[in-house]
Amino acid sequence: MDQIFVTLKHLLVGFGPAQCQPIISAVISVAGIIGVFATLFAITTILERKGLGRIQNRYGPNRVGPFGILQPLADGVKALIKEDIVPRTADSVVHFLAPLVLVAPVFLALAVVPMGRNMVAIDMDAGVLFFFAVGAATELSVFMAGWSSRNKYSLLGAMRAIAQMISYEVPLILSAVTVIMIAGSLSTVKIIEAQAGYAGGLPRWFVLTPWGLAGFILFMIAAAAESNRSPFDLPEGESEIIAGYYIEYSGFKFALFFLGEYIGMFAVSGLAITLFLGGWHAPFEFLTWVPSYVWFFGKLLALIAVFIWVRGTLPRLRMDQLMNFAWKFMLPMALINLLTAGIWRFLAPGISRWLICSFLVLGPYIMLARGLLQGSGVGKRTYRYAE
């Protein structure tokens, strides 16, 4: 069962002529990635709307299909048949290309994420570098959408989005560098291999180390900001700039922006699983009989659930709070975590290594957090009740 999809792909490729087999293999991989993650996108939208409804004490979608499970289909049909409106003064070519430039890179990024044993579309030595390189194109698409719309709100939303994405991309990459240092490779496959095996009944995942836990938390916070997820959804602040950089988009183009953001969230979550959570490896040795792709997608759904939980729980930050948090807390912590990972690498295994590295992470965390709170003017919350 573990290699059923790999075997099926090899069987389908074998039917084609020898000179066309590389092309057939690439087409099957692309079709598989698009099909699986487009389906996951539809499932996630209904789960998120249902989950947020329960958090906010309401039902959520419950009209289309049994328990509202066909709501994503209704939304897709609506997006397809809705009128496509382009502002008269907009740059029509750039306006049309912007959503395509957003969607294409996030699907490309998924090509280097292993989704199971021997289940990676492209196994390259610089897989992590490729992931971040193609992911940077999303910032270009955001600027294209904001600038081409010829709307002050869309341009303001684009500038806010770019400032946020650039600010949080720095700690995102630095958090990944710690894993690259320890694994000694930029290959996503080799990084997962470095986390194989078990010790004392626990897996050798990087997240189960002081620097790995700190790096994982920093990575996921930065990933939420990169994906414009709450509480970092400043570019789409409806109460301030209506809908941000895609205010002038409608119909299927708007749906592509929506799709791109979710696929980007899946991609960065998949990379977090690869870097810190052992990839497709099972959490316990007695569960290795479960197919590897089940573990990958199980971990992916768990991270998506955390994103939904955070969205329904935390309020949106102000722009100054968002930027202060990035440059005064996230960046220093990411740099300190780099030092901690280097010290962990050269210290002898034992309790002393754990104590030293834990102190190196917790000490700066407490000092930076206190400094950030003191500078913000936020005091201790007190509750007063009417008598």
pLDDT value for 147: 86
Residues 6+ apart with CB under 8 A from 170: 326, 330, 331, 334
pLDDT value for 217: 95
Residue 323 has pLDDT above 70, yes or no: yes
Residue 387 has pLDDT above 90, yes or no: no
pLDDT value for 381: 65
Lowest mean pLDDT among 122-126, 174-178, 214-218: 122-126
Confidence of residue 174 (pLDDT cuts 50, 70, 90): very high
Residue 75 has pLDDT above 70, yes or no: yes
Q: What percent of the chain has pLDDT over 90?
A: 42
**Interatomic CA distance for residues 256 and 260, integer angstroms:** 6
> Residue 4, Cβ neighbours under 10 Å: how many?
11
Higher confidence at residue 141 or residue 385? 141
SS3 of residue 369 by DSSP: helix
Identify the burial level of 199 via C-beta atoms within 10 angstroms of its C-beta, where 0-12 means exposed, 13-18 middle and 19 or more buried.
exposed
pLDDT value for 146: 85
Confidence of residue 201 (pLDDT cuts 50, 70, 90): confident
Mean of the pLDDT values across residues 177-199?
A: 93
Nearest alpha carbon to residue 114 among 307, 301, 275 = 275
Mean of the pLDDT values across residues 338-357?
A: 91
Residue 103 has pLDDT above 80, yes or no: yes
Confidence of residue 64 (pLDDT cuts 50, 70, 90): confident
Q: Which two tokens stand for residue 40?
A: 């996951």
pLDDT value for 154: 84
pLDDT value for 379: 60
pLDDT value for 240: 61
Q: Which two tokens stand for residue 220?
A: 């996921």
Confidence of residue 59 (pLDDT cuts 50, 70, 90): confident
Mean of the pLDDT values across residues 357-372?
A: 89
Confidence of residue 322 (pLDDT cuts 50, 70, 90): confident
For residue 313, what are the CA distances in angstroms to 121, 134, 247? Answer: 36, 31, 26
Query: DSSP readout, 46-71?
Result: HHHHHHHHHHTTS--S-SSSGGGTTH
pLDDT value for 242: 67
Confidence of residue 235 (pLDDT cuts 50, 70, 90): low
Residue 328 has pLDDT above 70, yes or no: yes
Q: What are phi and psi of 202, to 5 degrees?
A: -110, 150
Residue 241 has pLDDT above 80, yes or no: no
Question: Which helix or strand (DSSP H or E) is residue 353 part of?
Answer: helix 351-376
For residue 306, what are the CA distances in angstroms to 48, 207, 226, 303? Answer: 11, 16, 16, 5
Residue 269 has pLDDT above 70, yes or no: yes
DSSP state of 315: P
Residue with tokens 């957003």: 102
For residue 136, what are the CA distances in angstroms to 129, 236, 259, 300? Answer: 11, 20, 17, 22
Size of the chain, expressed as the number of residues it contains: 387
Residue 353 has pLDDT above 70, yes or no: yes
Identify the burial level of 96 via C-beta atoms within 10 angstroms of its C-beta, where 0-12 means exposed, 13-18 middle and 19 or more buried.
middle
Q: Which two tokens stand for residue 328?
A: 């005064």
Nearest alpha carbon to residue 233 among 146, 330, 157, 139 = 157
Mean of the pLDDT values across residues 267-293?
A: 93
- Are 175 and 222 within 8 A, CB to CB? yes
Mean of the pLDDT values across residues 221-247?
A: 77
Cross-strand bridge partners of residue 213: none
- Between helix 251-276 and helix 210-226 the angle, nearest 10°, is 170
Lowest mean pLDDT among 82-91, 336-345, 349-358, 359-368: 82-91
Q: Which two tokens stand for residue 41?
A: 């996108």
**Interatomic CA distance for residues 252 and 130, integer angstroms:** 29
Residues 6+ apart with CB under 8 A from 386: none
pLDDT value for 377: 60
**Interatomic CA distance for residues 120 and 109, integer angstroms:** 11
